[in-house]
Amino acid sequence: MTALNILLVLSAGLFLAGLFGVAARRTLLMQLISLEVMLAGPALGFIAAGAHHGSIEGSAMFILVLGLAAAEVALGLAIYLHMRRATGGDSDAATRLRG
């Protein structure tokens, strides 16, 4: 088993830990934190694969993941602050969407 294998398994583990958080938690803020963990998993995978194969594309994909995470956090937290007034920040209570 090579170092790349171990790192890819750890990156899958990070993704699955975040997936568990998104599915199991009912507070929107905790789901957003779990989404951050989910995005960190693929980032680790890209960097590890890029370092193993000696190519720069891994770092480039990491930059793209980073931009996605930044946009997601900004929008997610704005939506959270907006919804908290109506539902108290509980995603189960927000079953009806209205503009």
- DSSP assignment of 35-77 equals HHHHHHHHHHHHHHHHHHHT-THHHHHHHHHHHHHHHHHHHHH
Size of the site for another protein (CB under 8 A): 70
Using the rule CB under 8 A, which residue among 42, 73, 87, 94 binds another protein? 73
Is residue 91 part of the contact set for another protein (CB under 8 A)?
Answer: no
Nearer to another protein, 10 or 94 (CB): 10
CA dist 59 and 61 (Å) reads 5
Is residue 93 part of the contact set for another protein (CB under 8 A)?
Answer: no
Using the rule CB under 8 A, which residue among 42, 69, 87, 94 binds another protein? 69
